[in-house]
Structure 1
């Protein structure tokens, strides 16, 4: 099983190394990292979260385990355009609503730019949900183990380690030292591709449930003995993450410690990192991982010591994370399609031409539903309203189009994302951006992965002078369009 306890230091590094990590005299002040632009914790209604996630649509699931996981995470968008991540617990996870609410409120008091912060919760009937800031650039696991375009650079791996250590130091300073099942799926990347620690792990998956996954090879040894999570257990898990960052693989600690003991560190290092760091830097990270993985909990360093050890190792600190990660940062960096480009320029005439060419392909399922009801006079009138709206839209009579589409929508027999999209553009042409935004959001609620709905939201938001939200919607539309093209 490799080295244990203090023997590890001696056999790996010689008797001259005493295992201590110097405290930094000027460790970054965690209080400075607290953020002011994150709203205060609040309780959400289940209806609000249902609307935000398009009825908890399968297309909005972002957790790796999908529908079959006991607790599923969805992406969503509130009416104010705030993007959120919603964790929906198994119905039997937290039977005591008061206990759930108390736990959630305690975590919700934390505010830090190293965390994906908890914005609120929902506790209605037997529903238990957490609401957090949405991080659009995937998990560490995706970028480290399942990358598609480029492996993560050494400088970025060191930045991940530091940001994670700072997140743990902040949580510890606020009395929330326990983190459940810390792993590469718990580290997520924000709009600027900066790494953050998900707040979801600060709460257990259930009142009495296990805090660690069933993969015993990565579980802290004391948890196997006692079934309890301690602050030292979190440090052990941090050590396994350092191994992940070093190797680019999820290596069991016992195997890694065997390689370290045999001084076979080259076998532990990701071959994609060749030439990116010195032996001293690699040795320093291995040394730190070894200390975190000590068998005896009391031998492991505290988060403050981890931060102190990682600060001197940082590289390319002036380079933004999105540049190190190769992730576009805003519309200017995106390879936009003709529709995306038209939306970025707010060229409503070009958008109109493209939407006209698309027609009603996204309504095929709904059109089938219509065919069974066409024999009724009311349905015939409704269809005529839609047809008249289409003619008006085609001939750029946008006031008439709004009127006809509104008649169709008000009947409510069926829903059509493309009708909402066309009325949204008609509102934009009529200088009614807020109404346009409402319709574009309705189109997305009906069809969560439809790129045109996101693009129209972007145009409406540009018109409303909400630049940051517009850029985010434009990026979302581009990502959805690329996915659509890749699968079509």
Structure 2
């Protein structure tokens, strides 16, 4: 590797990356972009109530942001009424005091539609609330797969694909007038259903009103940001260089240290030992050269996204291999390979009698704390009437007198003195038995609001959606129910 590295050090200091001309998009890429645009809804402004419903009241169980519940801006997993899974970023109350500025920014980012982005689907701007709604990416972040892997380290071919897809995302954003990206790092790259890497749209909007865009350690920020506190398109290229170092090393190495290793011709110290034998000297040399150019002190000496794409395309390996195979991820997520339980099978077959038997046998064992609350309130006559409504509803439900069960369960719910997810679940099935699928779906959703991780709620949503002939949404709900049930059985 010695002579290759000598050549590298010479070109790192004095050569610039010359694009090999504009790479024309293939018909496949153009088709992929067209399909992405047609599959996604147009930008939508949501109410806070809709997003509360989607996240079960912003339940802690639905927090998916890497930094946890105490982060200034928390990201939640949510599910809209049409069963589309979304990521919802909720800003702290001091961010975006100017509602008009927030809406203008969100609408502009919401016009972007590209398969290399986790696209922005909508926002919410009510009172002090500022939220963004984006596509949900189920396979976590690059940081998780690169730094905290559990099964296998990321393959070299996949690392090169991440670099290319990220460059293509930045090139697309630049072509649409959105060249600024705030705090580009390994947490901003997420993986979709097919395990393809995508750039989170959240970074296309600034993080806070004071314009501080780099939440990472200052050792990783562009030199000009430390001088001026401002982000420029060239700053994004510097951050891209730090990501190339991450991909090469499998660690988050400060750029100054990495450049010292490069100047000392110590490529071995810079390379992830897990990659041994997976790439040639030329490939390693070229990636280090790209990183070095991106990390130039003077912003004007850094490449632009188009030249990065041109340089990364020839490096790609195993291009016919789908990303999910390179990543060792089962396509469609864990539920796709998970066998259905008896309840899942009953929902899939729309065997309502079998669902009824399972719910009857389950009784109220999943109503946590309900029994203690009932005994405490037994002495009030109003509570006694409410309990009697529930008991009569249970008798009717057991004897399959579903219209009567609906009436009594409705009396219990309308009294408002107690909340029982099981009552909502039983009334949901009673509605299904009475050929009222819309009402059944509403009750199933309400069940999930009360008890966000209860698998029964998702199973009933699936059954109601099958009854409404909404097959795709029903399959999504069924998979989600299977995952929740599996988690419950493990714990």
Give the TM-score, by structure 2 length: 0.89
Q: Deviations over 1:215-234 (max 9, x none)?
A: 01211111111111011111
Change in Cα spacing, 1:363 to 1:224, as seen in structure 2 (3 Å) is same
Provide the C-alpha distance between the structure 1 equivalents of 2:14 and 2:148, rounded to a whole number of angstroms. 40
Give the SS at the match of 2:312: helix
Q: Deviations over 1:319-378 (max 9, x none)?
A: 333333313416542344444444444444444444334332321223322222222233
Provide the C-alpha distance between the structure 2 equivalents of 1:480 and 1:259, rounded to a whole number of angstroms. 47
Question: 1:272 is matched with which residue?
Answer: 274
Provide the C-alpha distance between the structure 1 equivalents of 2:304 and 2:154, rounded to a whole number of angstroms. 27
1:85-484 map, 5 Å: 85-325=87-327, 326-329=329-332, 332-484=336-488
On the 8 A contact 1:168/1:303 being kept in 2, the answer is: yes
Change in Cα spacing, 1:62 to 1:14, as seen in structure 2 (3 Å) is closer
Question: 2:3 is matched with which residue?
Answer: none
Q: CA deviation at 1:15?
A: 8.5
Provide the C-alpha distance between the structure 2 equivalents of 1:353 and 1:277, rounded to a whole number of angstroms. 58
Give the SS at the match of 2:20: coil
Moved over 6 A (4+): none
Q: Deviations over 1:201-250 (max 9, x none)?
A: 11111222301125012111111111110111111111111222222222
Change in Cα spacing, 1:318 to 1:89, as seen in structure 2 (3 Å) is same
Q: CA deviation at 1:13?
A: 4.6
Provide the C-alpha distance between the structure 2 equivalents of 1:451 and 1:149, rounded to a whole number of angstroms. 27
Match of 1:84 among 78, 83, 86: 86
Provide the C-alpha distance between the structure 1 equivalents of 2:447 and 2:390, rounded to a whole number of angstroms. 16
Q: Deviations over 1:252-307 (max 9, x none)?
A: 22222223333332333333333433333333322222222222212211111111
On the 8 A contact 1:21/1:301 being kept in 2, the answer is: no
Change in Cα spacing, 1:320 to 1:339, as seen in structure 2 (3 Å) is farther
Give the SS at the match of 1:113: coil
Provide the C-alpha distance between the structure 2 equivalents of 1:78 and 1:56, rounded to a whole number of angstroms. 13
Q: CA RMSD in A?
A: 2.6
The more displaced of 86-95 and 229-238 is 86-95
Provide the C-alpha distance between the structure 2 equivalents of 1:445 and 1:69, rounded to a whole number of angstroms. 23
Change in Cα spacing, 1:73 to 1:399, as seen in structure 2 (3 Å) is same
Are 1:26 and 2:28 counterparts? no
Give the SS at the match of 1:363: coil
Give the SS at the match of 2:300: helix
The more displaced of 347-356 and 375-384 is 347-356
Q: CA deviation at 1:173?
A: 0.3
Give the SS at the match of 2:182: coil
Gap runs ≥5 in structure 1: 1-7
Give the SS at the match of 1:177: coil
Q: CA deviation at 1:480?
A: 2.5
Q: CA deviation at 1:149?
A: 2.9
Provide the C-alpha distance between the structure 2 equivalents of 1:17 and 1:165, rounded to a whole number of angstroms. 20
Give the SS at the match of 2:447: helix
Number of residue pairs aligned between Structure 1 and Structure 2: 480
On the 8 A contact 1:115/1:198 being kept in 2, the answer is: yes
On the 8 A contact 1:93/1:209 being kept in 2, the answer is: no
